[in-house]
Chain A
C-alpha cells in the first residue's frame, strides 16, 4: 500500500468533474443520468479510500458506500421509469423539450 491518499482524492475529483461536465452538456435525459452515475462513483472512491487510510477497524466508510449503492440503484430505477413514461407520452427524451412544468 505505497499509494499516497491524495492520488485517490485527485482521481475522484477528476471523475466527479467529468461526470458534472456530462450532466451539464448533454441534452438526452438518459445521458444526464449516466453523468450522475459517474459522480456517485467518484464519491464512493473517496469514501472507501478514507475508510482504508484513516480507520480500517471501524466500518463507517464502507457502510456509507453501501448506502450510496442503494441510493444510486433507487435513483436509476425511478429516473429511467420517469424517462420511459415521458417518452411514451411525449415521444421525446431531450431534456430541453420536457418543459411542461416550466413557468
Chain B
C-alpha cells in the first residue's frame, strides 16, 4: 500500500464519516458545519486527482458561499433548528419515531449501494490505475481555452451564466417577501 492510497483512504474516511454526521445529527447548525468538513474532503480528492482549479473552486464556491448560505438559512429559521416536530410525548418516543421513519430510506440506500458496488466491481477495466500526466500539458490553460473556444464548450458556459443570472434574480424576488 503506497502513500497515495493511505492518503486516499484517510480522505474517504473523513468524507464518509462527516457526511453520515450531516444526515444523522439532530441540530441543523451542526449538520451544516459537518457539511463543510465533507466538502473540504472532496476538495482534497480533487487535489489528489490533479484538478487544482476545481479544488480551489470547491473551497471558494461550496464552502465559502453555499455552506455559509445554509448556515444563514438555518439561523433565519431558528425556531425549527432541531430537526423534529415538537414531541407530543417524551424523548424516548421521539427517538423511536425517528427509527421507525428512517429504516426504509436506510434499506433503500444500502440496496442501491450494494447494487452499484456489484456493478463497479464487475467491470475489470475499472480497476486500472491512471497513466502519468503527459509531459507539458497545462491543464489550467487547457481548461480556460476549452471554456471560451467556439468549437469546445463556449455554449454550455454561456448557458450556465444565464442560469446563474436567472437564479440570482429569482432568489432576490422570492426572498424579498413584501411584493404583494
Q: Which residues of B contact A62 (CB under 8 A)?
A: 51, 53-54, 139, 143
**Are B128 and A44 neighbours in the complex by a CB distance under 8 Å?**
no
Q: Which of A5, A24, A45 contacts B128 (CB 8 A)?
A: A5
**Are A84 and B130 neighbours in the complex by a CB distance under 8 Å?**
no
Q: Which of A49, A56, A78 contacts B170 (CB 8 A)?
A: A78
Known: A18-B20, A30-B77. A44 touches B42 (CB 8 A): yes
Q: Which of A9, A30, A91 contacts B126 (CB 8 A)?
A: A9
Q: Which residues of A contact B157 (CB under 8 A)?
A: 63
**Are A74 and B163 neighbours in the complex by a CB distance under 8 Å?**
yes
State how many angstroms separate the Cβ of B45 from the closest Cβ of chain A. Answer: 6
Q: How many residues of B contact A (CB 8 A)?
A: 91
* CB proximity to B under 8 Å, residues A1-57: 1-11, 13-22, 24-28, 30-31, 33-35, 37-38, 41, 44-45, 48-49, 51-53, 56-57
Q: How many residues of A contact B (CB 8 A)?
A: 73
8 further A-B pairs in the complex, CB-CB below 8 A; given A15-B19, A45-B45, A51-B49:
A8-B45, A17-B110, A17-B113, A25-B102, A62-B139, A71-B160, A87-B77, A93-B77
**Are B126 and A48 neighbours in the complex by a CB distance under 8 Å?**
no
Q: Does B10 contact A (CB under 8 A)?
A: no
**Are B8 and A7 neighbours in the complex by a CB distance under 8 Å?**
yes
A2 to B61, CA, bound (A): 29
